[in-house]
Amino acid sequence: MTTTDSGTQPADGTQAPTTPMVGIVMGSSSDAPIMSAAADQLRKLGVPSEMRVLSAHRTPDDTAAYARGAAQRGIRILIAGAGGAAHLPGVIAAMTDLPVIGVPIALAHLDGLDSLLSIVQMPKGVPVATVGVNAALNAGLLASRILALSDDQIAAKLTEHRAQQADKVRSQDTQVRSAHNGA
Ligand code: RP5
């Protein structure tokens, strides 16, 4: 699946580039309800992405092929989510020089602590930038911030996003103050 922001298409009818810049991978389709938040956030910021189910344990050869070929296909950042013995982000980081963002997924047992520790405690020399448990939205934002260093359009959308976020909190502040302080 490739997702792009149709709102960024030029008015002259030409197609904006849709080559995925971010690869979103997950260990099982059961992770998709969480990981789709990364794709949604990227789409809102006009960042094309692709999604794959690849398992470090169950399809190790496919995972290796994907990790080794991603940079050559134009992927700039990888977001990898997995739960339990969550080795997918680390295994991918071992096979590419692209930045890898890990998303620990909470499963039925251990509340995601197992996934978090599996992803965050990487050995020296093989970094994975780990976001919070189930925090796929933040993974999408972090990937966008990295891309924005060399892309003015993404940078502008991020600035707008942060301003909208601030507006929401200010409006909450107004409501709470009015309800509790009578002001
Ligand atoms: C992990 O095992 C996957 O990332 C998923 O979070 C978990 C459970 O997978 P399924 O049993 O739902 O396929 O590898």
The domain locations on the chain are 2-152
Site to probe by mutation for ligand 1, drawn from 24, 51, 107 as the one with most ligand atoms within 8 Å of Cβ, is 107
Q: What angle do CA 28, 40, 42 make, to 5 degrees?
A: 105
The whole-angstrom distance between residue 98's C-alpha and the CA centroid of its chain comes to 14
pLDDT at residue 15, as a whole number: 52
Structure-block tokens of residue 165: 């976020």
Distance 45 CA to ligand 1 centre (A): 28
105 lines ligand 1 (CB under 6 A): yes
pLDDT at residue 16, as a whole number: 53
pLDDT at residue 5, as a whole number: 37
pLDDT at residue 18, as a whole number: 85
Nearest Cα residue to atom 3 of ligand 1:
27
pLDDT band at 3 (very low <50, low <70, confident <90, very high): very low
Structure-block tokens of residue 81: 């989510």
CA distance 78 to 93: 9
Q: Are 88 and 103 in contact (CB under 8 A)?
A: no
Percent of the chain with pLDDT over 70: 90
pLDDT at residue 182, as a whole number: 82
Over the chain, what is the mean pLDDT?
92
List of E strands, the chain: 2-3, 22-26, 49-53, 77-83, 100-105, 129-130
Q: Looking at domain 2-152, which of 3.20.20.70, 3.40.50.1970, 3.40.190.10, 3.90.25.10 is its CATH number? A: 3.40.50.1970
Structure-block tokens of residue 40: 């949604």
59 lines ligand 1 (CB under 6 A): no
Position 177 pLDDT exceeds 60: yes
Read off the DSSP letter of residue 122.
P
Between 182 and 177, name the one with better pLDDT: 177
CA distance 96 to 70: 8
Across the range 134-143, mean pLDDT stands at 98
pLDDT in tens, 79-114: 999 999 999 999 999 999 999 999 999 999 999 999
Read off the DSSP letter of residue 77.
E
27 lines ligand 1 (CB under 6 A): yes
Percent of the chain with pLDDT over 90: 89
pLDDT band at 9 (very low <50, low <70, confident <90, very high): very low
89 lines ligand 1 (CB under 6 A): no
28 lines ligand 1 (CB under 6 A): yes
**Residue spans of alpha helices (H) in 45-151:** 60-69, 88-93, 113-120, 136-148
Report the relative pairing of strands 22-26 and 2-3 from DSSP bridges: unpaired
Structure-block tokens of residue 163: 């301003």
Distance 105 CA to ligand 1 centre (A): 9
Site to probe by mutation for ligand 1, drawn from 31, 79, 113, 118 as the one with most ligand atoms within 8 Å of Cβ, is 31
pLDDT at residue 6, as a whole number: 35
